[in-house]
Amino acid sequence: MSTATGTAFSVPALTVLSEEEELFRASVREFAEGEVRPRVEAMEHAAKLDPDLIKQCFELGLMSIESPEEYGGAGSTIFNAIVAIEELARVDASISVFVDVHNTLVTNAFMRWANDDQKKKYMPQLAEGRVGAYALSEAGSGSDAFALKTRAVDKGDHFELTGQKLWITNGNEAEIFIVFATIDPEAGYKGITAFIVEKQFEGFSVGKKEDKLGIRASSTTELILDNCKVPKENVLGEVGKGYKVSIETLNEGRIGIGAQMLGIAQGAFEAALKYTAEREQFGQSIGSFQGVQFQLAEMAVEIEATRLLVYNAARLKDAGKSFLKEAAIAKLYSSRCAEHVSSKAIELFGGYGYVKDYPVEKFWRDSKIGAIYEGTSNMQLQTIAKLITK
């Protein structure tokens, strides 16, 4: 699957897609419809991604969209990454977040913070077949992200990491982890350091897999670090600068979550549109009633507004402009849109919407996480308020 590098669009053309971007969208949609959709029900029941689908994501280049060509990637844009995330979520949010985290958090962190040796070693692996995961959260550090208990102790030629991470997306599939730990609890956020940890490192193990409401095929696990030995050369960025790595990476990651929520809303809307055209009551399709048409119109307006917000944030990032506020707005609004549109879709399906034989209840369950991970809605509001009042 090819992607286009293209050039950054100016602000007035934020919503215009180039021919290459349209072709890329079409190719991702073809994959989502042909390969992902037939597996969705089985993956949902198994609460596990199909290994063959994971392999295809690498083969098609979906796991290295922004990664430079010299490391085996497409050398493309975050805009193409969010288009891929959106199109996958339109069919299945679990495979969407799998691709999202690998691209917008892990690969992005390596691109921004890894030194040349680390890039040469790990980025080809991330492009070719080894899944990445991002390990920041702990039991006592969610929104208060830097209240970390995981400790890193300098042992001369290596660090030893001890602690527990929770809510780690891709935990079961990943082989390369970006793990955050503190080298000095007394230093507060200035003690936070990012480490590159491989699954086979001594003292590292994957713990419990969470049994979740939604995105059930996506693995969400705990990580256990028991005097995990990490070479000195595996510090990502600088010692004590892990807070910068996490903040700046998550800023981009929120655009990806916005795209995932957009895809969920679009998928739920399309299902409702099709159903209301087919379902008959009182001798005519329910879609012919003005009350239903108005509800569909409201859903379409919310989705289009979400698309503009998400695309705007991505275009700004690609153009090298400030996008922090726009990313926070996009994530906040998109999570609300996905939850509302999918909920309304259930109502339009009536009793059928409440059973698992039809797709809309899954869209609704999958939507709820959007208000929680990679920064809760309250944290997005705090960010927006800070930036508009400073």
Active site residue 198: no
Nearest Cα residue to 245 out of 53, 129, 112, 379: 112
DSSP state of 138: B
Rg (CA), the chain: 21
Q: What are 134's strand-pairing partners?
A: 178
**What are the structure tokens assigned to 133, written together?**
């995961």
State which H helix or E strand residue 213 sits in: none
DSSP state of 144: S
Contact call for residues 162 and 225 (beta carbons, < 8 A): yes
Amino acid letter, 151: R
DSSP state of 233: G
Q: What is the C-alpha to C-alpha distance for residues 345 and 268, in angstroms, rounded to an integer?
A: 6
Contact call for residues 79 and 314 (beta carbons, < 8 A): yes
- Measure CA of the first residue to CA of the last residue in the chain; give whole Å: 44
Nearest Cα residue to 329 out of 368, 375, 369: 375
Name the pairing type of β-strands 132-135 and 176-182: parallel
Name the pairing type of β-strands 192-198 and 132-135: unpaired
Q: What angle do CA 289, 290, 292 make, to 5 degrees?
A: 70
Strand ranges inside 81-138, DSSP E? 132-135
Q: What are 163's strand-pairing partners?
A: 225
Catalytic residues: 374
